[in-house]
């Protein structure tokens, strides 16, 4: 068996194990993933299309999922001022609590670091193969600037809030 085939098989099993581990209470895998993403993304990256892009799903599916989360009072829905078509979904306090309650694997730090590096590489490759967005952290972006008056985004041309430097941005481009 070639190594790439083995990776596919491992991903298959890992996928299942991970989903089974998280799945708890009344949230399914897709809802958990969306909720977790919304908790990490900045204010420009919490629209249905963006979530769909991140989760490699269609807008239709994500729309349904976000509505389900909304019915469960885990997110709120807001319209955008600048573009009337765009909607933004933010975590409620209950939503944030649900994210906190999610369990991950429990590896010793050294091993976790090795695993995290491998996973980052793998994700990056798979994104590249499908021409997808990197969805990296704002502060690692080529448009991120540190100015005397504070952080600034050179792409959107606006000042950034302090907490946004560590959030996911849909416009993220790896620094050159």
For DNA, the binding residues (CB under 7 A) are 19-20, 23, 26, 28-31, 47-50, 55, 57-61, 63-68, 71-72, 77, 83-87
* Cβ pair 45, 172 in contact under 8 A: no
* Binding track over 108-147 against a copy of itself, x by CB under 8 A: -x-xxxxxxxxxxxxx-xxx-xx-x--x------------
d(CA 111, CA 128): 26
Residue 135: CB minimum distance to a copy of itself, A: 8
Range 52-111, binding a copy of itself (CB under 8 A): 54-57, 102-107, 109, 111
3-state SS track over 73-99: CCEEEEECCCCCCCEEEEECHHHHHHH
Q: How many residues does the chain have?
A: 176
- Which alpha helices (H) appear in the chain, and where do they start and end? 3-22, 29-40, 48-55, 59-71, 93-100, 109-129
* Cβ pair 143, 155 in contact under 8 A: yes
What does 76 interact with, of a copy of itself, DNA, none (CB < 5 to 8 A by kind)? none
Kindly tell me which of 40 and 151 has the beta carbon lying closer to DNA.
40
Binding region for a copy of itself (CB under 8 A): 3-22, 29, 32-33, 36-37, 40, 54-57, 102-107, 109, 111-123, 125-127, 129-130, 132, 135
């Amino acid at each position: 068996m070639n190594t790439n085939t083995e990776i596919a098989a491992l991903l298959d099993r890992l996928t299942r194990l991970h989903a089974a581990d998280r799945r708890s209470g009344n949230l399914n895998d897709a809802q958990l993933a969306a909720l977790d993403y919304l908790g990490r993304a900045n204010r420009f990256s919490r629209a249905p299309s963006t979530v769909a892009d991140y989760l490699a799903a269609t807008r239709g599916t994500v729309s349904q999922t976000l509505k389900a989360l909304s019915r469960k009072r885990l997110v709120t829905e807001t319209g955008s001022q600048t573009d009337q078509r765009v909607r933004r979904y933010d975590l409620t306090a209950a939503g944030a609590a649900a994210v906190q309650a999610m369990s991950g694997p429990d590896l010793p730090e050294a091993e976790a670091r090795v695993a995290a590096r491998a996973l980052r590489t793998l994700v990056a490759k798979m994104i590249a193969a499908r021409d997808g967005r990197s969805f990296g952290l704002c502060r690692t972006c080529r448009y991120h600037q540190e100015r005397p008056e504070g952080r600034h985004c050179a792409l959107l041309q606006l000042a950034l809030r302090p907490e946004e430097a560590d959030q996911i941005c849909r416009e993220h481009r790896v620094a050159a």
